[in-house]
Amino acid sequence: MQDLSIVMKTQNVIISQCLERDLEAAIKKCNYDRLFVLTDTNTVENCWPLVCGFACLQGAKVITIGASDDNKTVESLCHVWDELQSGSATRHSLLVNIGGGMVTDLGGFAASTYQRGIQYINIPTTLLAMVDASVGGKTGINYGGLKNQVGVFNLASSVILHTCFLKTLDHPNIASGYAEMLKHGLLSDDERWAGLLAVDLASQNLDLDQMRLMVASSVAIKQHVVDEDPTEKGMRKVLNLGHTVGHAIESLAMEQGRTILHGYAVAWGLVCELYMSVALCGFPQEKMRQTVQFIHQTYGRFDLDCKDYDRLYELMRHDKKNVGNNINFALLANVGDVRLDQKASRELVYEAFDFLREG
């Protein structure tokens, strides 16, 4: 197979064909004194057995936190710091994060802040983490009932992507990651967007070679944006397509005691923001219809009551991209044609909520 490793200005991302070889090389580059591995209760059971025999990981101290976004908290962060400290970690130590986006986000933040920063490597084990969370240097935790409210920009020393871990995922988690890939397709061009809509995600036989190529393509789109704008001062805001509404949906569900996967929230956010894109930016209605149909077929519908509209809107006002009292959206005039810092009236936003429920 061809080498799909991505050459980037800001970060070393490896589309791996031999995980042990690539991890050994990445660890050697870090010139560390003590080695730590962060997992959660899911990945320590399902993914750690795939790598624990690697020679390069022998002697590492394994730290485990609770699984799911509910554990992306200050308490989990403190647990990681405590384990690093009790393991005599120094500022020359190395943390390897093995898990989904929650693990790479929280682990990256723990590494970035322990003794003012130690090196870390990400090995994402979910499709969502491979194409989104582990790449680009965003780290952080949830706080005050809101998503990703505390964190820093700090790139991993290396990110190693290997599709062998996708065998450990159920269909909802594959679909969750695919929503971010669909977003990248909408930000790219008609060919990639149409190709993503043509995939039968319900198939029981996941083609890992095909997925490896698709992951490489998706990561390349994201990393091109990150290279141009590492700390989200301008162009990187395009990656927030679907997320202004999507993060609010996640927060609302959290308040109501419902757990939903991030990618599902992003997919439903895309439905709303494509509706606003048609109204404000002239996005083609037929392309919206095709995309929304795929989302409904793949993700179903978010159970939203019109009584929740005010609260959902208020949650959107807490989005980190906002300036003053304005909710800022990244919208589309066409596939690949993004319009940043778009303002929508409350009435239009509520129309988009109606469309999400009934359209």
Assess if residue 3 is contained within a domain: no
Contact call for residues 183 and 270 (beta carbons, < 8 A): yes
Say what the pLDDT of residue 229 is: 82
**Helix, strand, coil % over all residues of the chain, rounded to 5:** 55, 15, 30
Looking at residue 115, which CATH number applies to its domain?
A: 3.40.50.1970
In this prediction, residues 317-344 reach a mean pLDDT of 87
Q: Are residues 333 and 186 in the same domain?
A: yes
Q: Are residues 35 and 96 in the same domain?
A: yes
Q: Are residues 290 and 316 in the same domain?
A: yes
In this prediction, residues 55-73 reach a mean pLDDT of 96
Is pLDDT larger for residue 108 or for residue 221? 108
In this prediction, residues 240-263 reach a mean pLDDT of 93
Contacts of 265 (CB under 8 A, 6+ apart): 246, 247, 249, 250, 253, 302
Say what the pLDDT of residue 2 is: 42
Beta-sheet pairing, 329-334 with 337-342: antiparallel
- Asked if the model's pLDDT at residue 232 lies above 80, the reply is no
- Asked if the model's pLDDT at residue 205 lies above 80, the reply is no
Q: Are residues 102 and 216 in the same domain?
A: no
Q: Rounded to two decimals, what is the model's pTM?
A: 0.88
Q: Of 26-35, 66-75, 225-234, which gets the smallest average pLDDT?
A: 225-234
Counting residues of the chain whose pLDDT is more than 70, the rounded percentage is 96
Q: Are residues 191 and 94 in the same domain?
A: no
Contact call for residues 70 and 141 (beta carbons, < 8 A): no
Instruction: Quote the strand ranges of 100-215, DSSP E.
Output: 119-124, 141-143, 146-150, 158-161
Q: Are residues 155 and 265 in the same domain?
A: no
Q: Please tell me the distance from the alpha carbon of residue 239 to that of residue 244, in angstroms, as a whole number.
A: 11
**One-character DSSP codes across 208-234:** HHHHHHHHHHHHHHHHHHHHH-TT-SS
Q: Are residues 213 and 351 in the same domain?
A: yes
CA distances from 326 to 45, 271, 313, 316 (A): 44, 21, 12, 10
Assess if residue 181 is contained within a domain: yes
Q: What is the pLDDT of residues 281-321, one digit of tens each?
A: 999 999 999 999 999 999 999 999 999 999 999 999 987 66
Q: Please tell me the distance from the alpha carbon of residue 246 to that of residue 69, in angstroms, as a whole number.
A: 15
Say what the pLDDT of residue 240 is: 93
Q: Please tell me the distance from the alpha carbon of residue 120 to that of residue 142, in angstroms, as a whole number.
A: 20
Q: How many CB atoms lie within 10 A of CB 47?
A: 22
| Helix or strand holding residue 255 (H, E) | helix 243-255
Q: Please tell me the distance from the alpha carbon of residue 144 to that of residue 127, in angstroms, as a whole number.
A: 27
Query: What integer best gives the mean pLDDT of the chain?
Result: 92
Q: Per the structure, how many domains does the chain have?
A: 2
CA distances from 101 to 178, 202, 308 (A): 14, 23, 28
Assess if residue 334 is contained within a domain: yes
Assess if residue 4 is contained within a domain: no
Q: How many CB atoms lie within 10 A of CB 201?
A: 14
In this prediction, residues 160-184 reach a mean pLDDT of 94
Q: Are residues 190 and 120 in the same domain?
A: no
Assess if residue 42 is contained within a domain: yes
Question: Which residues form the domain of 265?
Answer: 174-358
Side-by-side strand order, sheet with 61-65: 13-15, 158-161, 119-124, 94-99, 35-40, 61-65
Q: What is the pLDDT of residues 110-146, one digit of tens each?
A: 999 999 999 999 999 999 999 988 888 899 999 998 8
Is pLDDT larger for residue 252 or for residue 1? 252
Assess if residue 6 is contained within a domain: no
Q: What is the pLDDT of residues 270-280, one digit of tens each?
A: 999 999 999 99
CA–chain centroid gap for 172, Å, is: 15
Closest CA to 313 of 291, 339, 340, 345: 345
Assess if residue 237 is contained within a domain: yes
Residue 9: pLDDT band with limits 50, 70, 90: low
Assess if residue 53 is contained within a domain: yes
Q: Are residues 165 and 182 in the same domain?
A: no
- Asked if the model's pLDDT at residue 263 lies above 50, the reply is yes
